[in-house]
Amino acid sequence: MTKARMEVHFSHPRLSRILTADVSPECTAQEAIEGLLEGDDVGPFIEPSPPHRPYELVIKRTQQIINPEMTFQEAGVLDGDVIEVRQAGQGARI
Amino acid sequence: MNRFRPKSRSSVALLWRDRPVSNSRLVGFASIARNFEVYLQKEVLIKTLEVSKNALPNETIGLLAGRTCQDSHGPYTVITAAEAALSNEIESTPAEVRISGAGYAQLRARLETNHPILEVVGWFHSHPLSQPLLSKEDLIEQLTWTDNTNIALVVSLVSHGERFGLFHGPDAVLLFQRSIVPNEGEH
């Protein structure tokens, strides 16, 4: 039987920080990113991404990318999984 | 029903410790505009310069690790380690460097393996052709480092001017090197 909700740990794309959330198996990556942008009582967990640097969710255990419209169940997320919130970086000369 | 419900988040308690103003192994940088300082281990400057030279003629990028602490004057950041991206984790030219989300994740995992008790406190990259100031693209990257204690280090490889540029916070406030007075008996 599928568990109604799962506890999932999201790692910050830059910092050594984790946000733990209860997530429905029907939750999509896009909904989770919106939840991380909204954050909790402390404030947003992540900030709106700059142009061309969208966030991407990846299951740390399997390295499966969770595409924006994919649900956590479809991606194979399990209770207790760590989800890496990834974001590309860039530097350039002045 | 809400499909995403935040429960808790990890919090890094700031270590309460007097800032290491007299440690000769550290180079201090301070903000004129704000009461904020950074202390960089000299080996970090040496390593970032070395990897920047090794990457020539292209730019390179990496992460900085250390600890954010506080004392009665407020928070400050100590940087004691740096980890550079591998060539297969980046796309770089003499004028820019890009690292994918997967590349960043690999780089960070390597840093955390090599320095398991340190936290990621910032990033560095090289400017083979220009001064150690932040470009428009660099400022966008620095915006993704959302804590005021997060650091951007720029290593310039041009033959004149400053070698290093240090900035803190998402609004990239410039830090200036401060003089270090070693304690008696410390060399």
Query: Domain map of chain B by residue range?
Result: 15-177
- pLDDT at position B11 is 75
Nearest to B84 by CA among B101, B104, B107, B105: B107
Residue appearing with tokens 């109604």:
A4
pLDDT tens digits, B73-132? 999 999 999 999 999 999 999 999 999 999 999 999 999 999 999 999 999 999 999 999
Nearest to B89 by CA among B106, B110, B66: B106
Cβ distance A50 to B144 less than 8 Å, yes or no, reads: yes
CA distance B154 to chain A (A): 10
ipTM, interface predicted TM-score of the complex: 0.91
Of 3.40.50.150, 3.90.110.10, 3.40.140.10, 1.10.3210.50, the CATH number of B15-177 is 3.40.140.10
Cα–Cα distances (Å) from A74 to A29, A71, A77, B114, in that order, read: 11, 5, 8, 34
Judge whether residue A23 has pLDDT over 80: yes
Give contacts of A69 with chain B, Cβ < 8 Å: none
pLDDT tens digits, A37-81? 999 999 999 999 998 899 999 999 999 999 999 999 999 999 999
Distance between CA B154 and CA B138 in Å, rounded?
9
Q: Which residue has the higher pLDDT, B45 or B34?
A: B45
pLDDT tens digits, B122-160? 999 999 999 999 999 999 999 999 999 999 999 999 999
Domains of chain A, first to last? 6-40+48-87 (3.10.20.270)
Joined tokens for residue B27: 């180079």
For residue B7, give the nearest of A20, A24, A88 by CB distance: A20
pTM for this entry: 0.92
Judge whether residue B182 has pLDDT over 60: no
Amino acid identity for residue A18 in this structure: I
Residue A53, Cα to own-chain centre: how many angstroms?
14
